[in-house]
Amino acid sequence: MDTSWEIAVIGSGPAGFYATGELFRQQSWEIKVDMFDRLPTPFGLVRGGVAPDHQKIKSVTKIYNRIAENPNFRFFGNVEFGSDLYQPDLLKHYDAVIYSVGSSSDRALGIPGEDLEGSHSATEFVGWYNGHPDFREYKFDLSVKNAFVIGMGNVALDVARILAKTPEELAATDITDYALEALRKSQIENIWLVGRRGPLQAAFTPVEVREFLELDDADVMLEGGSLELDEESQKILETEASKDTKKNIEILTQISLRKLSGKKKRVYFLFLASPLEISGDGKVEKISMVRNQLVKQDDGSLRPQATENKIEEDAGLIFRSIGYLGNPLADLPFDQKSGTIPNESGQVKDPENGNSLRNREYVAGWIKRGPSGVIGTNKQDAVETVHRMLETFLAEKMEAGQNVVLPDIVSLLESRKVDHVSFADWKLLDAHETEAGEAQGRPRLKLTSITEMLEIIRQKR
């Protein structure tokens, strides 16, 4: 009898791979992992989120490739939890399941006019330029002059930077051809980054903001010119501010000293402002905003509060980038507010059932803790989940295979006619994309249609 523990991991992003890597690191446990992803391509947001001009960051996939080489690992791409496979299926085939499906929706601004044509989520734009199959058909009108990005996190900065770069700056990346073509024809001249809080509270990292100093054909400046901190923020800067915050302020100071140099585009950082309304005749034409001031709370934190001072600007495109949000999964509890699956150190708990813990279901990554942190943050997060799972197996005196009542998952997938792809299949696709890219001096030319991906895999098998 096979005494291996069989674990299903749903989602092949960083969290899914770090969880798998940690499972394989356990010397005293014999563990097999089947990883499922709704796309034929693995790596989640490393492929579909991380900006095309940040190729170095994408090299983290080398670690994931090594994990996938383990003989106890199988990848089932093009298999969606919630349409091809369901929770009861998994619980019949595996000892336990780790859900690491990320956060694929976004938070809305909740202001009038948000649904007008020309108002988009950063999720859509990022998915589009990165060739995520869900967004390949989206259209963005880049013939307008003014674009507003609402939010001041790294994703907002990615969106603004991609809009600000020249086609030549992007040409050697793996941005999709259709996005490069559309950006080549872009008429955008002014890009605004709008943050409700002040410079000291900005969520971006120094590495990301520094890139704005080096754009070939875009000047960067602070709206209003100089960098002004309120008294409380200045105090924090001098006392408890983190190293990154201090660096951010240094870089923003450099930006504030910049003069217009006649470049074709301009990027403005607008701090302490919140959008109130987007308006226009059938499409985005104007954005109204209110200036905020920071007010000290009882707990000592500074929160933005609207003033009487309003701003109205002509706008053609608006991207909201105020946070990603998880989607509920069938048969799992869900916390609407945080967009996460309720859990205790990664073990799923049922708030509607007295917070009882599920011994065979776990979560890792963004769906566990919400959309925060960098790729590496998911490692610690996944390690915690795996240890919680193994401790539970021991505490509950569970045995490998004890709950597995059905044979290999492949027969179920085949009976449901799911056209699943393996990691070896992905490697064929990967080789196809990188070879096509090499010919143009680019890291890869991405395929963006699932039908096309499956066709290439069939041809190359």
Ligand X SMILES: Cc1cc2nc3c(=O)[nH]c(=O)nc-3n(C[C@H](O)[C@H](O)[C@H](O)COP(=O)(O)OP(=O)(O)OC[C@H]3O[C@@H](n4cnc5c(N)ncnc54)[C@H](O)[C@@H]3O)c2cc1C
Nearer to ligand X, 49 or 118 (CB): 49
Nearer to ligand X, 325 or 456 (CB): 325
Binding mask 20-59 for ligand X (x = CB under 6 A): ----------------xxxx----xx---xx---x--x--
Listed in order, strand segments (DSSP E) in 315-453 are: 317-320, 324-325, 343-344, 347-350, 356-363
CB–CB of 26/391 below 8 Å?
Answer: no
CA-wise closest residue to 101 among 419, 324, 323: 324
* Residue of the chain from 95, 158, 211, 433 that contacts ligand X (CB under 6 A): 158
Count of residues near ligand X by CB under 6 A: 34
Binding mask 62-81 for ligand X (x = CB under 6 A): ------------------xx
Q: Does residue number 82 form part of the binding site for ligand X (CB under 6 A)?
A: yes
Binding mask 273-312 for ligand X (x = CB under 6 A): ----------------------------------------
Quote the tokens at residue 120: 């988009």
SS (H, E, C) 77-117: ECCCECCCECHHHHHHHCCEEEECCCCCEECCCCCCCCCCE
Quote the tokens at residue 104: 């694929």
How many angstroms separate the CA atoms of 240 and 232, rounded?
Answer: 11
Nearer to ligand X, 13 or 113 (CB): 13
What part of residues 364-393 is at the interface with ligand X (CB under 6 A)?
365-366, 373-375, 378
The CB-of-367 to ligand X minimum distance in angstroms stands at 6
Q: Does residue number 193 form part of the binding site for ligand X (CB under 6 A)?
A: no
Nearer to ligand X, 13 or 131 (CB): 13
Strand 324-325 relative to strand 105-106, pairing: antiparallel
* Residue of the chain from 5, 7, 9, 12 that contacts ligand X (CB under 6 A): 12
* Residue of the chain from 7, 8, 9, 10 that contacts ligand X (CB under 6 A): 10
Q: Does residue number 217 form part of the binding site for ligand X (CB under 6 A)?
A: no
The CB-of-100 to ligand X minimum distance in angstroms stands at 5
Q: Does residue number 326 form part of the binding site for ligand X (CB under 6 A)?
A: no
* Residue of the chain from 15, 90, 170, 200 that contacts ligand X (CB under 6 A): 15
The CB-of-285 to ligand X minimum distance in angstroms stands at 27
CB–CB of 263/217 below 8 Å?
Answer: yes
Beta bridge partners of 210: none
Beta bridge partners of 222: 269
268 by Cβ neighbours in 10 Å (0-12 / 13-18 / 19+) ranks as buried
Q: Which residue has the tokens 């989120």?
A: 49
Nearer to ligand X, 4 or 55 (CB): 55
Quote the tokens at residue 347: 């073990």
Q: Could you tell me which residues come within 8 angstroms of residue 426 by beta carbon, excluding any fewer than 6 positions away? A: 40, 41, 42, 75, 77
Q: Does residue number 14 form part of the binding site for ligand X (CB under 6 A)?
A: yes
Give the helix/strand (H/E) hosting 156: helix 154-164
The CB-of-286 to ligand X minimum distance in angstroms stands at 27
The residues of the shown chain that bind ligand X, judged by CB under 6 A, are: 10-16, 36-39, 44-45, 49-50, 54, 57, 80-82, 100-102, 104, 126, 155, 158, 324, 365-366, 373-375, 378
